[in-house]
Structures are given as structure tokens and as C-alpha cells.
């Protein structure tokens, strides 16, 4: 099986549109012919399924508790997108024990699906699960909008990912912007401060305009790229998907989801080592 491109979508601050971005990027890539799986990695406050109006029978929490397999949880979205839902409101699921992490890794190794892309919608903030998913992914997209709190929290997340966890490249996605200049300013502000204090490359991967059609789609529990494909945000998501479709595949990955699983394991191992030291 061929390697899978794993992309974590995260944000620092909550409410900036991280889940909207994950869902619409995943649907756009799926509609362009890629085999895409979207994993709801917000283990405490999941809402990918709500955004797509789906009713999961099982979720990731059930997999971690050994009640079902990962395959049992899978839901179908537009463009044959596969969705792994998480459980909402189970605050105790927000942080996993080592044994639960191991169970999760096992569940992924057991999934025999041919995929091109895995998108992980992480929680907001700098919780351990956010760091673990980001570190295990080949690319990390940080969603930021123009308000100062969003930029401050995005920088705090970038700092932790870079300084403490060695993430060297981060993709910035400016959301809810009013023009291209605003997107460039958001990127430039973050880049300037990161270049001064950190050892990280910040790339502006794209921007999504503030769009009432997107809000309408959220209320109707559909992806804007599916419901209003000609809206300005849908067009921006399609452009973003095209750009990301051109990213290269990871080097050295040997099989389906193997790269992701291997990195999760090694992140786990490092955590164990640093706890023991």
C-alpha cells in the first residue's frame, strides 16, 4: 500500500474556524478524486459529525475503550470522504493514558483502507493530544484569524511545537479575512516574531475569506463546498485543496498510515523517556 499524507489542522485559539477548515478542505480534496479520511482529533469537544449532520453509531472513544474497531466508526461524507468521529462532551477523553494511546495506534495499524490523505482536526490550545497529533503529522496547518487573541494563541502554539517538540515547518492558513492584504499581514506578523525567537519556517498556505455562505452552510450542517460550491469561501477551499494536492509524499514511509502510526509511537516513546528521566 502507498504512504498516506497526514495533515494536522490546529489553531491555538478556539472558534477561529479550525473545524470548518478541516471539513471543507477534506471534502474539497475528496471531491477532487483523492481518497481522504478526516479524523476528529478533538477528543473532548468533537464536532466534525455535527458540522456534516451525521449521526455516528460509534466513535473514537469506543475504539479506545475496545468496544469496536476503527472500521466500525467510519461515516461517509461528500465525495466518499471517510470520517472517524470523536465523542462530544466526554471531558475525560481529552487526555489519553499511555495504554489508551497504544490502543489507538493499534486500531490504526489494523485499518486496511487505501488512502491518499488523512486530515486530523485537533483540539484547540496546547493540550498534549494537540502536540502529539501535530508531531505525528507531516504537515501542520495553523488556522489564524486577524484578531490579536487568535494571533497570540497561534504564536504560543507554534512556540511549543517548535521549541519543545522540534516542528520546523508550519503552514499558516488565514481565515475569515476581508482581503488578501489582511492574510499577508497575519502571516507577516507571525513570521517576524517567529524568525526572531524561534527556528521555524512559517509558510502562508492560503486564506479563506469571511463568508456568510459558510455560516449558512454551518447552520444547515453541510460543507460549504458541497452546498454552495460557487461561494467565495468554497472557491478558496478548492484553490487550497489544489495547492495541497501538489505537496509531495513523505520520504521513507512504507505503507498505509504506517508513517503516522510510527511517528505516534515514537512521540509516545519520547514522552515515556522524558517522564522517566
Ligand X SMILES: Nc1ncnc2c1ncn2[C@@H]1O[C@H](COP(=O)(O)OP(=O)(O)OP(=O)(O)O)[C@@H](O)[C@H]1O
User: Is 137 annotated as contributing to ligand binding?
Assistant: no
User: Is 13 annotated as contributing to ligand binding?
Assistant: yes
Contact residues: ligand X, CB under 6 A: 11, 14-20, 124, 175-176, 208, 210-211, 214-215, 218, 233
Residue appearing with cell numbers 506578523: 189
Question: Residue 12: CA atoms inside 13 Å, Cβ hemisphere, count?
Answer: 25
The nearer residue to ligand X, 109 or 122, going by C-beta atoms, is: 122
User: Is 194 annotated as contributing to ligand binding?
Assistant: no
Output the furthest CA–CA distance in the chain (Å, rounded): 55
User: Is 18 annotated as contributing to ligand binding?
Assistant: yes
Q: Closest approach of Cβ 208 to ligand X, in Å? A: 5
User: Is 14 annotated as contributing to ligand binding?
Assistant: yes
The nearer residue to ligand X, 158 or 261, going by C-beta atoms, is: 158
Three-state helix/strand/coil letters over the chain: CCCCEEEEEECCCCCCCHHHHHHHHHHHHHHCCCCEEEEEECCCECCHHHHCCCCCCCCHHHHHCCCCCHHHHCEECHHHCEEECCCECCHHHCCCCHHHHHHHHHHHHCCCCCCCEEEEEECCCCCHHHHHHHHHCCEEEEEECCCHHHHHHHHHHHHHHHHHCCCCEEEEEEEEECCHHHHHHHHHHHHHHHHHHCCCEEEEEEEEECCHHHHHHHHCCCCHHHHCCCCHHHHHHHHHHHHHHCCCCCCCCCCCCHHHHHHHHHHHHHHHHHHHC
User: Is 15 annotated as contributing to ligand binding?
Assistant: yes
User: Is 32 annotated as contributing to ligand binding?
Assistant: no
The span from the first CA to the last CA of the chain, in angstroms, equals 38
The nearer residue to ligand X, 129 or 256, going by C-beta atoms, is: 129
The nearer residue to ligand X, 121 or 268, going by C-beta atoms, is: 121
The nearer residue to ligand X, 136 or 174, going by C-beta atoms, is: 174
The nearer residue to ligand X, 215 or 266, going by C-beta atoms, is: 215
User: Is 168 annotated as contributing to ligand binding?
Assistant: no
Known binding residues for ATP: 13-20
Known binding residues: 13-20
Amino acid at each position: 500500500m502507498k504512504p498516506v499524507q497526514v495533515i494536522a489542522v490546529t489553531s491555538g485559539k478556539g472558534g477561529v474556524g479550525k473545524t470548518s477548515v478541516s471539513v471543507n478542505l477534506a471534502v474539497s480534496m475528496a471531491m477532487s478524486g483523492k481518497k481522504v479520511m478526516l479524523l476528529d482529533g478533538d477528543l473532548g469537544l468533537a464536532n466534525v459529525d455535527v458540522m456534516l449532520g451525521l449521526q455516528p453509531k460509534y466513535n473514537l472513544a469506543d475504539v479506545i475503550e475496545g468496544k469496536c474497531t476503527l472500521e466500525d466508526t467510519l461515516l461517509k461524507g461528500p465525495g466518499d470522504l471517510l470520517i472517524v468521529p470523536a465523542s462530544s462532551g466526554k471531558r475525560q477523553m481529552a487526555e489519553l493514558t499511555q495504554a489508551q494511546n497504544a490502543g489507538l495506534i493499534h486500531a490504526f495499524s489494523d485499518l486496511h483502507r487505501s488512502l491518499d490523505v488523512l486530515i486530523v482536526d485537533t483540539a484547540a490550545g496546547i493540550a498534549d493530544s494537540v502536540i502529539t497529533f501535530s508531531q505525528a503529522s507531516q504537515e501542520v496547518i495553523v488556522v489564524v484569524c486577524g484578531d490579536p487573541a487568535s494571533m497570540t494563541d497561534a504564536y504560543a502554539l507554534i512556540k511549543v511545537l517548535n521549541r519543545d517538540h522540534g516542528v520546523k515547518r508550519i503552514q499558516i492558513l488565514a481565515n475569515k479575512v476581508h482581503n488578501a492584504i489582511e492574510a499577508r499581514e497575519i502571516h507577516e506578523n507571525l513570521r517576524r516574531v517567529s524568525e526572531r525567537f524561534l527556528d521555524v519556517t512559517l509558510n502562508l498556505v492560503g486564506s479563506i475569506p469571511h463568508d456568510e455562505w459558510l455560516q449558512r452552510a454551518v447552520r444547515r450542517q453541510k460543507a460549504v463546498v458541497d452546498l454552495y460550491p460557487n461561494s467565495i469561501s468554497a472557491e478558496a477551499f478548492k484553490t487550497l485543496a489544489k495547492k495541497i494536492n501538489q505537496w509531495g509524499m513523505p520520504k521513507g514511509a512504507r505503507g498505509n498510515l504506517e508513517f503516522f502510526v510510527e511517528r505516534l509511537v515514537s512521540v509516545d516513546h519520547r514522552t515515556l523517556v522524558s517522564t522517566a528521566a
